[in-house]
Amino acid sequence: MSPGLIILILVLAVIASTAALIVRGVAAGRNAEAETLRLRQARKGAGPIAGLVIRPLASVDRPSWQRLWDSYCDFYATPMPASTTEMTWTRLLDEGSTLRGYGAYDPSGNLVGFAHIVLHPHTWSPRTLCYLEDLFVAPPFRGRDVGYTLISFLWTKAEQEGWGRVYWHTEATNAAARRLYDRFRPADGYVRYTLTVSPAASEHE
For residue range 70-124, list pLDDT tens digits in order: 999 999 899 999 999 999 999 999 999 999 999 999 999 999 999 999 999 999 9
Query: Is residue 195 one of the residues assigned to a domain?
Result: no
In sequence order, which residues have a C-beta less than 8 Å from that of residue 110 and are 6 or more positions away? 64
State which residues form the domain around 118. 3-189
Query: Is residue 27 one of the residues assigned to a domain?
Result: yes
Query: Is residue 200 one of the residues assigned to a domain?
Result: no
Enter the pTM of the model: 0.76
Percent with pLDDT over 70 in the chain:
81
Of 41, 30, 24, the closest CA to residue 174 belongs to 30
Q: Between 13 and 135, name the one with better pLDDT.
A: 135
Q: Phi, psi (5° rounding) for residue 153?
A: -60, -45
Structural domains of the chain, count:
1
pLDDT of residue 21 exceeding 70: no
